[in-house]
Amino acid sequence: MLGCLYVHCRSETTSQDKGLRKVTRPPAPSPRSCASRLCSVLAEKERRVKANDREHNDRFPYADNRIKTSKYNAFTFLPVNLFEQFQRVANAYFVILLILQLIPEISSLSWFTTIVPLGLVLAITAVKDATDDYFRHRSDQQVNNRQSQVLIRGSVQNEKWMNVRVGDIIKLENNQFVAADLLLLCSSEPYGLCYVETADLDGETNLKVRQAPNVTSDLGDVSRLTDFDGEVICEPPNNKLDKFTGTLHWRDNEYSLDNEKMLLRGCVLRNTEWCFGMVIFAGLQTKLMQNCGKTKFKRTSLDKLMNTLVLWIFAFLVCMGVILAIGNSIWESWIGRRFEVFLPWGESRSSAVLSGFLTFWSYVIILNTVVPISLYVSVEVLRLSHSLFINWDQKMFCGRTDTPAEARTTTLNEELGQVEFIFSDKTGTLTQNIMAFSKCSIDGQTYGDIYDEFDQRVEITEKTACVDFSFNPLCDRGFKFHDSSLVEATKREDPAVQEFFRLLALCHTVMPEEKSEGDLVYQAQSPDEGALVTAARNFGFVFRARTPETVTLWEMGRAVTYQLLAILDFNNVRKRMSVIVKNPEGHIKLYCKGADTLIFDRLDPSCSRLMNETSEHLSEFAGEGLRTLALACKDIDEEYYEAWAERLRCGSTAIEDREEQLAVLYEEIEQGMKLLGATAIEDKLQEGVPETIARLNLADIKIWVLTGDKLETAMNIGYSCNMLRDDMNEVFVVSGQTRLEVQQQLRSAKEHIVGLSRVSSPGDIEKSDAFADDSVFEEAIIAEYALVINGHSLAHALEPQLEHILLDLACLCKTVICCRVTPLQKAQVVELVRRHRGAVTLAVGDGANDVSMIKTAHIGVGISGQEGMQAVLASDYSFAQFRCLQRLLLVHGRWSYFRMCNFLGYFFYKNFAFTLVHFWYGFFCGFSAQTVYDQWFITLFNIVYTSLPVLAMGLFDQDVSDQNSLRYPSLYKPGQQNLLFNKRRFFLCTLQGVTTSFLLFFIPYGAFSVMEKDDGSSFSDQHTFAVTVATTLVIVVSVQIGLDTHYWTAVNLLFVGGSLVVYFATLFAMQSNGLFGVFPGNFPFVGTALNCLSEKSVWLVILLTTVVCVVPGLVVSFLRVDLFPTPTDKVRHLQRCRKKQRPQQQSLRRARRTSSRRSAYAFSHQQGYGELITSGKNMRTSTASSARSPDRTAGSSNWIENVLKRKNEVACIS
């Protein structure tokens, strides 16, 4: 996520209006013509917007505020959708066949056998795509029709969002969404401040502060805003959420504008009664929509493989057609001429060569069923059904938010079984962005754990009793703590405990709001600051009010006001914060909190024993993944403070080296402090995140975290999720500021991993990466490494000269974390992996800043949480919690891939076996393009006789249960390696089909040449032969699908048995006297079935052919499983052994992470907020209404003890 964008109200500004510079405006240039202004806008060099002047702004082609995320409209749907569908080679192939079937000279099959299924496929796909796009249209309309208050002709009027224009002045009220990118003009707060929540942009729920230009902050009433005619000249539309450059021209003066004065579309106004803003960017040109990216047409790798295979099959079909056409020409030349007396050539066949040419096209039509259209109908049905299975999965349903999993597309299900890279956002995706005060150490004593009567630590669960805070009428009832000994120490007024909580109540930048007596709401700059102040509040030290000069606490029922003398603000170098206060007794004290290493270096030597004890406690807290802070205080002599304060005033007004002078003064007064203790805060992960990441790692899925948070925060979450561990060989941190530094850091890390010395000149990039394409390095590396890179360095690393080094290094690492990245950089990282690795990628996020990444990846997943619905609307799949990802991939994804691969393999097998009988028959029928089977059998074979059994297999088959799919994640690897269906597998399936067709033809042919009927006559008619071959074919493919099915259900039994019954019923009905009497020309095989199948010898031929066709494959399968079992075969064996027992659940117990790493200061905390408080700019002069954020319940998460070390055990199941 992008970092906090707080206003830095620093004292170095020349006026109270931070960042504004007032200069004399140069002489205005002569007005440009409309044409030249238009050209300027089209060139996108700058944007000129005039307030309250629609006529002026309409001269420029600025976008209106209407958004569009849909792909089609009523006019483009048909052509665009058909264009997308005909990117499938098979669809174009079927159209060509349809045209050929319309030529009577070469067609031996009716045209309707092709156009009906083709039209059905196109219609089903079009309806599905139209339905998906309808929901996008509906979402767009819902947003576009939202109401906004616009200043029009001197009054505030309601307008739909889509009617808002650039230059309009909009009024926003508390809890309203920002309709467009606005320049903040004024607000109900002092100094033009307002508070916004940017969760829909960056997923962060902590509030950000924005401040209007000082020159407009007093335009508080409608009349003055109506007269406002300022002109803004700024940068053109772009996707940089954290940057804005512009100038406000008003009353012959110029005022600089930056991002701190902008309200971006997607933000929500919080704790501010009202504000007015001027529209700068609208609609698709807002920064939110610029980050959304284009909706892409996504196709699976199986779809692309199918296109290649269709071309192969077509080439094979042409070869067979050529062979048979040549055979026809030779036969007609040598033998056919003898029959011209009673079988003369028609006009269309005036020569043997022409006859062969026409025969070629006839055989192309007859043999086209090697790729039947019913295959694509079945594929669409399977994909739709697999999507419904995801929607119906109760184990992916979130009861707390009443949110089911949703497959928002039906075309990518099998791709879920082939994912190699997951790109995840952090805040709101891995974490709940909720901090909880978990434990603390005070004066060498730890609090937070509970023990039983045997003095053994008890694990804290949701059912563990909480401490009763009823003694405190101002407590936060949502606060949970389980160790009652800390409350008892507070009640008996232990000095160390009281000073500890007094520090937490005083040393912060939180703003309180008391909506009613005792109803306190804290607005914290960062969630962990809020957690610490709330903890102090519950233990009797309630932070109740503040002014620029005072802080009022309610200490154990008594109101105490402290004089606030100074705030020594936090920054990334200090990593600590201090306040200096004077208590009612007149004593001056300094309270400090921050990173333990920095605090310990500044302690008085007398604290050495306590420091050692506290250090042990901190290591213990960090081992459990908690975020820690050390607390210290110091008594200050008043005389010394006065002298120090004077030097501080001089330093704060210095022109040069101001920061350095202040740092020296801060350092001086923060020496010799007394240690009070330490806090441990839990940055609550979403439920099941560590387990999910562990299982996905065991499945050889690489997880990269792409977040806008600062490096330290991202690394803390990495340790909490076990993505980063202390037992890793190395964690590389790339933070270079220049391209050369980044290149050197990447090179040295890569060389360290591969253990090779490749020091070369900075420009010699290609030579040093000669080994980059050798994937053996990746597989040979046993040690585990991690890469952490910040956004500034990533910008250099993504340049064409360095991107290959970055990718090679990242792929050699077990974990990759990119922090401080922009939405565009997220998409670029995904595109880099997708383009150069050829792997299936999945992106998961919850905010609008993740949309571009989600659209770029092969598969996009949206987390439907509290951060808005932008990511969900752009995603292919959505659910409420990250933990559902393991079930989506390891169960539904793996099953979908397994089912689709088995379905395709079997489908090609049965259709080659069905179709190539015509090829063998061609050598015995004079290459006349005569079909073996009855035309009705050809029409119904794929539609009726064999469609339902293969559909049942594609719908319900499973090699292992869902429990074992999760228990043994290594079973996911075959999908990543394309082992279940690839070109080799296709060749084997077609070879089996060709062999079966050979046996199906020649065994009955040989048998009939020597067999006699019971009455002594021979089997000489073609009809009897056709019925025998057709019946044998149906039985063979039915037996084969029975052998290929791993998981039998009642539906499978019904469909297989029912298909055989339907075949025989249809066979006898169509070859009966009744139908022949009604349609003599359409049913020529009258009586054949009854005469043929009443012969015992025919059934013996059918039985022999079935055994010969099926048994060899059965033997090969048995020997393979017995001699060369795969991990799936081993798990299936274990599953059968435990069939009568309930599967034993995997033991996932909470384990303490052994880590010596301690987290540092303040999650998302930024420098500068302390001075905003002491300046008083954010203090209300009157009570303003505000709204409290919805309460959120914190979920618990489990830990896996050394789960990643089980990888070899899982892969080698005995």
Gap between the Cα atoms of 623 and 625, Å rounded: 5
> Judging by beta carbons within 10 Å of its beta carbon (0-12, 13-18, 19+), is residue 764 exposed, middle or buried?
exposed
Q: What is the DSSP string of 235-253?
A: PPP---TT---EEEEETTE
Q: Give one word for 258, left, alpha or beta, with left for phi > 0 and alpha for psi -120 to 50.
A: beta
- The tokens for 858 are 């092969």
Name which of 840, 829, 854 is nearest 701 in CA terms: 840
* Gap between the terminal Cα atoms of the chain: 44
Answer yes or no: are the C-beta atoms of 259 and 244 closer than 8 Å.
yes
Rounded distance between C-alpha atoms, residue 450 and residue 444, angstroms: 17
Can you tell me the distance from the alpha carbon of 1049 to that of 949, in angstroms, rounded to the nearest whole number? 11
| Tokens describing residue 519 | 């109803």
CA separation for the pair 762, 782 (Å, rounded): 29
**Considering just the CA atoms, what is the radius of gyration of the chain in Å?**
37
DSSP 666-685: HHHHTSSBEEEEEEEEEEEE
Look up residue 571 and give its two tokens.
């920054």
Distance of alpha carbon 778 from alpha carbon 772, whole angstroms: 10
Task: Name the packing angle between helices 638-652 and 658-669 (round to 10°).
Answer: 170
Region of 455 (left: φ > 0; alpha: ψ -120 to 50; beta: rest) is left
Strands 674-685 and 431-442, by their bridges, are antiparallel
The catalytically annotated residue of 425, 528, 569, 1044 is 425
Task: Quote the distance between the C-alpha of residue 532 and its chain's center.
Answer: 32
Name residue 577's amino acid.
M
DSSP labels, 852-908 = HHHHHSSEEEEE-SSS-SHHHHH-SEEES-TTHHHHIIIIIIHHHHHHHHHHHHHHH
Report whether 52 contacts 151 (CB < 8 A): yes
- Calpha distance 564→548 (Å, rounded): 7
Structure tokens given for 126: 């079009």
Q: Computed from CA positions of residues 679, 685, 687, 689, in that sequence, does the dihedral angle turn out positive or negative?
A: negative
- Return the number of other C-beta atoms located less than 10 Å from residue 374's C-beta: 21
Alpha carbon separation from 53 to 16, 58, 228, 699 (Å, rounded): 30, 9, 10, 60
User: Residue with structure tokens 């690839």?
Assistant: 982
Task: Using the Cα atoms of residue 116, residue 121, residue 124 and residue 130 in order, give the sign of their dihedral.
Answer: negative
Residues 356/360/363/365 CA torsion (nearest 10 deg): -140
Among this protein's residues, is 64 annotated catalytic? no
Q: Which two tokens stand for residue 174?
A: 């508390």
Collect all residues with Cβ–Cβ distance below 8 Å to 913 and sequence separation of at least 6: 992, 993, 994, 996, 997, 1000, 1033, 1036, 1037
The two counts, helices (H) then strands (E), for the chain are 44, 36
Residue 596: burial class (beta carbons within 10 Å; 0-12, 13-18, 19+): buried
Which residues are identified as catalytic?
A: 425
